[in-house]
Amino acid sequence: MPELPEVEVLSRHLDPALIGRTIRRVEVRRRKSVRPDSATRFAAVLKGARIERVSRRAKYLVFQLRRHGEPESFQMLGHLGMTGRMYVQPVGRSLAKHAAVVFALGDSDFVFEDPRYFGRLSLELAALDELGPEPLGAEFTAGRFGRDLGRFRQAIKVKLLDQSLVAGIGNIYASEALFHAGISPRRPAMKLHDDEVSCLRRAIRTVLREAIRFGSTVPLNWAAEDASDGLFYYGRAADAGDYYVERLDVYDRAGQPCRRCGAAIRRIVQAARSTFFCPVCQPR
């Protein structure tokens, strides 16, 4: 359930649900889903720790933890990959087929489920050092963004996915932000003019903020009873109805009319990922 807005909404949901809870037992059911990949070491560090806070950095969930009596807190990172989900369920309910890690909290279990096993829970924090600025934060200025983009001739869409330039944009919101800014995904990053860089920066912030607002407003099923809990980026969500389907302007809308001008939305492939855009509103 990736991309910044989905992780943000998930962290806002998990924080009040997990704060103050103590991890009584750790069950690593998929060693690949955990770092260090020794299940014993991973479990030994976390067992007995209390969860003090859940927050987000880029597409990572950040769990702040503390062991009883110790002055120093420590952190665990969670990344959902493509298909990861996290939720709290009552003890005794049957575990999902692809439940990778289960934290027993007493009367409930905190579950990390991930059918494709691309996601990770990690006690190694080095990944954070490689990340660029938060797109909704103060360090993400047009000046910095423009200077960074100036180093690459690769297409702007591809560079929006580079987490060292801006952290948190994924394949869906990259297409959406470029449509919002009226910029072709095929333009070389270094050829964007200053006004286009400013416009794109604003579009990124708007698109992400609106997605967070949507995800916070729409009723989401967090109970993990079906596959739709917390999902609002794309596809079908529980109780969201048509409103949901109408949300995205270009992503996964190939052949359908542009909402602004009516032209057919196009799908192209860049760096082995799909890009969607309007050839009229986003000319080369």
Partner DNA sequence: CACCATGTTCCTTG
Partner DNA sequence: CCAAGGAACATGGT
- Tell me which residues are annotated as active site: 2-3, 59, 273
**Least distance (Å) from DNA to the CB of residue 65?**
21
What's the rounded Cα separation, in Å, for the pair 217 and 201?
24
With CB under 7 A as the contact rule, the residue among 170, 208, 222, 277 that binds DNA is 170
With CB under 7 A as the contact rule, the residue among 116, 191, 213, 260 that binds DNA is 116
Q: Which strand (E) or helix (H) includes residue 75? A: strand 73-79
With CB under 7 A as the contact rule, the residue among 50, 53, 117, 128 that binds DNA is 117
**Least distance (Å) from DNA to the CB of residue 272?**
5
Of residues 74 and 152, the one with the C-beta less far from DNA? 152
Q: In the numeric block, which tokens belong to residue 66?
A: 């503390």
With CB under 7 A as the contact rule, the residue among 6, 8, 15, 176 that binds DNA is 6
The yes or no reply on residue 113 touching DNA (CB under 7 A) is no
**Least distance (Å) from DNA to the CB of residue 2?**
3
* CA-wise closest residue to 212 among 193, 196, 232: 232
What's the rounded Cα separation, in Å, for the pair 197 and 199?
5
**Least distance (Å) from DNA to the CB of residue 158?**
6
Determine contact, residues 169/3, Cβ cutoff 8 Å.
Answer: yes
Q: How would you label 31-70 residue by residue, b for 16+ Cβ within 10 Å and e otherwise? A: eebbbeeebeebbebbeebbbbbbebbbbbbbbbbbbeee
Residue with tokens 């952190």: 75
The yes or no reply on residue 191 touching DNA (CB under 7 A) is no
Length of the chain: 284
Residues that bind DNA in the complex, under the rule CB under 7 A: 1-3, 6, 32, 58-59, 79, 81-83, 97-98, 115-118, 127, 130, 151-154, 158, 161, 163, 170-172, 227, 231, 233-235, 271-274
